[in-house]
Amino acid sequence: MANANPTVWFIAGAKRGVGFEMVSQLLQSPFNVVIGACRTPANANALNTLAGASQNRLHVLALDITDAATITAAAAQSEALVGNAGVDHLVNNAAVLKARRHRSFDARRLPQNPGDNDTAATMTAEDMMAAFQANVVGPALIAQALSPVLARSGRKAIVKISSSMGSVAARHFPDNYKASYAISKAALTMLTGKLADAYPDLTVISMCPGWLQTDMGGSGAAFPVSTGVEGILNVTRELKHDDSGSFFDFTGKRVPW
Ligand SMILES: NC(=O)c1ccc[n+]([C@@H]2O[C@H](COP(=O)([O-])OP(=O)(O)OC[C@H]3O[C@@H](n4cnc5c(N)ncnc54)[C@H](OP(=O)(O)O)[C@@H]3O)[C@@H](O)[C@H]2O)c1
C-alpha cells in the first residue's frame, strides 16, 4: 500500500452511484486506501480507470452481495491486501430498490412503473425476498466475514447505508410505496443494533444518504450525489464508539427508528 499508515475503506457496491462517488472522494486524500467491491469488475470501467490512476490506492474486488461465496472470497482477498493494518471502515452501500424479474415474469402485466406499485397491498413474495436478500442478508454476511479484519484496525467502523424510508416513525412519508424496500431498510436498522451488540469493540451505525441523483434516486432527486457522499464521509470521520447502534442522516442528525 502506498502510504505507511493509511486509513483503509472497504466500499461494497463501488461501481456506480453513491459507492462510486465515495471511492472518488476518498481517493482525493493520499492517506486513504480503498477496496472497491463490485458485482462485475470486468465491466466496471470507470472504477477500473480510477484504480489505474490511483498509484495502488484503489483495489477492485468482485463481490455480489447476494452470493455468500463471493463475500467469503472478498474478505480473504482484503485480508491478504491489508494484513495487520486491518480495514478501518466497512461501508455497506450496495442495495436494490426492486426485484429483478424472473425470466418467466410477464412484463406485460406490470404497470408503467413497477416501483410505484410496490405497496404492502400489492408487493409480491419475489419483491420481498429480493429486497431482504440484498439489503439485509448481504450486509449481515459481509459484516461477519470482515469483522476479524475490522477488529485489527484503528477505527473499527461499519456504516450501513440505509434510508429514512426504513424509519417506522416516518412510514407515512411520502406514501405507502416502495414497501418491500422500506421494510428491508427497517430490518437493516435492527441489524445495525444487533451487530453493535454482537461486536462491542466495533462501532456500527446506519446512515441515510439523502435523496440523491443516482440511478436509484432518479434525476429529479433533491441533491447531487456528491452532497450526500460528503455528508456520509464527514459523519463517518466524526464517529465515536458511543454512537454504535445509532441511525444518522447525512447531516449528522439522528433519524428516529
Ligand atoms: N439514491 C438515493 O436517493 C438514496 C436514498 C436513500 C438511500 N439510498 C441508499 O444508498 C445506497 C446506494 O444507492 P444508489 O443511489 O447509489 O443506488 P444505485 O445507483 O442503484 O447503485 C446501486 C449500487 O449497488 C450495487 N449492487 C446492487 N445489487 C448488487 C449485488 N447483488 N452485488 C453487488 N453490488 C450490487 C450496484 O452495482 P451494479 O452496477 O452491479 O448493479 C450499484 O453499484 C443504497 O443502499 C440505497 O438504498 C439511496
User: What would the pLDDT profile of 196-251 be if each residue is shown by its tens digit?
Assistant: 999 999 999 999 999 999 999 999 999 999 999 999 999 999 999 999 999 999 99
Q: Where residue 159 sits, what CATH number does that domain have?
A: 3.40.50.720
Average of pLDDT values for 18-38?
Answer: 98
Domain annotation covers residue 1: no
User: What would the pLDDT profile of 68-91 be if each residue is shown by its tens digit?
Assistant: 999 999 999 999 999 999 999 999
Domain annotation covers residue 2: no
Span from the CA of 168 to the centroid of ligand 1 (angstroms): 21
Span from the CA of 91 to the centroid of ligand 1 (angstroms): 12
Average of pLDDT values for 115-135?
Answer: 86
Q: What three-state secondary structure class fits 138?
A: helix
User: What would the pLDDT profile of 180-196 be if each residue is shown by its tens digit?
Assistant: 999 999 999 999 999 99
Q: What is the pLDDT of residue 257?
A: 84
Number of structural domains in the chain: 1
Domain annotation covers residue 257: no
Domain annotation covers residue 255: no
Q: Which residues line ligand 1 (CB under 6 A)?
A: 13, 15-19, 38-40, 63-66, 93-96, 134, 161, 163, 208-209, 211-212, 214-217, 221
Strands 89-92, 58-62: pairing kind: unpaired
When the pLDDT of each residue in the chain is averaged and rounded to a whole number, the result is: 91
Nearest CA to ligand 1 atom 40: 39
Q: Cβ contacts of residue 77 below 8 Å, gap of 6+? A: 61
Range of the domain at 17: 7-249
